[in-house]
Amino acid sequence: MNRIKHGQINKWFPAQAGEILEFVASKPRHVKFELTTNSNIEVWVSTTKKMQDAILIGTSNGKTEIQYTANETTYCQIKAEKGSAVFVNLPDLDQTRVQPEEAVYTNIEPRINQSTEFDRMMQFMKYNEALRNEELEAERATLRAEREELRKEITRYDLADHMSDEEAKKQFEEAQKDAGETPT
């Protein structure tokens, strides 16, 4: 069983035997086209229009697909027997180009070069910051306690101004007991 797939027929056009097809390229290009014929054919490719340095790249006697890569404009000649029918399909969508250079990728967030010395410095910095925070918290607690003591004393002296001597003396003795002092 012989299966032939042609795709869309309106993309095929007749070519005369000996006709030269031009494939223009300003940078490397992948050329791909299909041929179908009712006789033996030869496909020659050259970089000059006069086909002086032509290279035979394929022969066929039916449907064939030709593919090659070129760095510049190339010319392709199809040689067939006299009186034979040759049809060519040159799909523009399949004429893909080869990447002339390596792809360049952009880093969204550049990497920071972290050496072991840099990591060690960061650890010391974090450790020192934690120690400093602990010392500050201890000092704040001490200051809070001193402030409370001062507040109590101020309150005691304010009350002493409004009390009788007996009440003030009694309160003073209670405060000394609370503080762990012996009353005088």
Quick one: DSSP state of residue 64? E
Q: Facing residues of 43 across strands?
A: 58, 78
| H/E element, 22 | strand 20-23
Q: Which pLDDT belongs to residue 142? A: 94
Quick one: DSSP state of residue 93? G
Q: Is the pLDDT of residue 22 over 80?
A: yes
What is the tens place of the pLDDT at every residue in 111-154?
Answer: 666 678 888 888 999 999 999 999 999 999 999 999 998 888 87
Rounded distance, CA 40 to CA 88, Å? 15
Quick one: DSSP state of residue 108? S
Rounded distance, CA 156 to CA 175, Å? 9
What is the tens place of the pLDDT at every residue in 30-81?
Answer: 888 899 998 899 999 999 989 889 999 999 888 899 999 988 889 999 999 8
Domain extent listing, the chain? 9-94, 124-178
Residue type for position 58: G
Q: Band of the pLDDT at 184, cuts 50, 70, 90?
A: low
Least confident of 13-17, 37-41, 93-97, 153-157: 93-97
Q: Which residues contact 49 (CB under 8 A, 6 or more apart)?
A: 20, 22, 75
Please tell me the number of Cα atoms within 13 Å of 18 on its side-chain side: 4
Q: Which pLDDT belongs to residue 183? A: 53
| Three-state DSSP class for residue 161 | helix
CATH of 9-94, one of 1.10.10.60, 3.10.310.30, 2.60.120.380, 2.40.30.10: 2.60.120.380
Q: Which pLDDT belongs to residue 98? A: 47
Q: Which pLDDT belongs to residue 146? A: 92
Q: Is the pLDDT of residue 82 over 80?
A: yes
Q: Band of the pLDDT at 13, cuts 50, 70, 90?
A: confident
Task: Tell me the whole-structure pTM to 2 decimals.
Answer: 0.48
